[in-house]
Amino acid sequence: MKKSVIKILIAVGIIVAVYFVLRHYGITKHIRLENVPKIKTWVESFGVIAPLIYIGLYLISTVFFLPGFPVTVLAGFVFGPLWGVFYASIASIISVASAFLVARYVARDLVEGWVKENAQFRKIDEQVEEQGWRILMVTRLIPIFPFNLQNYAYGLTKIRFWTFVFTSAVFMLPGTIALVMLGGAFVSGEGNILKTMLYLGIAGVFMFALSLVPNLLRKYQNKEIK
């Protein structure tokens, strides 16, 4: 067995162990938007290692198909809008890379069972052959395939690992900024209406830009996916 596979198996074991610890303390079942303030208090209680706890929570939510929206917003609540974007971006990159590697080297048969009947995945698989990173760009910007599942699904395609990681990092960033700024506005505003409105405005700009993406890429999507 290759050393790289052994390392991945060890990493998977650690992820699973962390998941069951979080589940034991009831954290996983409370990952909902309305519980973000409570989870914020829990993450902050770890002090200087709070960023590592947050990254671990993000990783668990991605790998185990837990809601990602509240975890991304959480970064803004815990770390503020600027550091929140940084930590959420790092967490998202680690998380999607982990799911990709699990699908490619550890649980390929299991993931194939999840997606084999999905016609959209078959089209994406075909387009990876022809378009490479461009189809990944489209699926990151347009939610035509569930986010958590696509992280695993791409592990079954022939796309290169570093191409997957770099492209995902770039095209996940706008959504990350929008959600973290939204959460950070309510924390870093600190009673300053102008400051709060600034962060909300930034979040709004990114959300509006993302809402335009489906129309801007419609012709490309119809040509490459349908």
> What are 160-176's pLDDT values in tens digits?
999 999 999 999 999 89
What pLDDT does 128 receive? Answer: 78
DSSP state of 66: -
Mean pLDDT of 62-90: 90
The angle formed by the CA atoms of residues 185, 58 and 137, to the nearest 5 degrees, is 85
Burial category of 13 from C-beta neighbours within 10 Å (exposed 0-12, middle 13-18, buried 19 and up): exposed
What pLDDT does 8 receive? Answer: 67
Is residue 113 a contact partner of residue 165, using CB atoms and an 8 Å limit?
Answer: no
What pLDDT does 148 receive? Answer: 80
Confidence of residue 203 (pLDDT cuts 50, 70, 90): confident
CA dist 136 and 224 (Å) reads: 11
What pLDDT does 141 receive? Answer: 80
CA dist 120 and 137 (Å) reads: 15
Q: Where exactly are the structural domains of the chain?
A: 3-224
Asked if the model's pLDDT at residue 220 lies above 90, the reply is: no
- 28 versus 135: the higher-pLDDT residue is 135
Residues with Cβ < 8 Å from 65, sequence gap 6 or more? 148, 149
Residues with Cβ < 8 Å from 148, sequence gap 6 or more? 62, 65, 68, 99
Confidence of residue 114 (pLDDT cuts 50, 70, 90): low
Asked if the model's pLDDT at residue 6 lies above 90, the reply is: no
CA dist 100 and 122 (Å) reads: 17
Asked if the model's pLDDT at residue 71 lies above 80, the reply is: yes
What pLDDT does 161 receive? Answer: 92
Asked if the model's pLDDT at residue 143 lies above 70, the reply is: no
What pLDDT does 105 receive? Answer: 82
The angle formed by the CA atoms of residues 198, 72 and 56, to the nearest 5 degrees, is 140
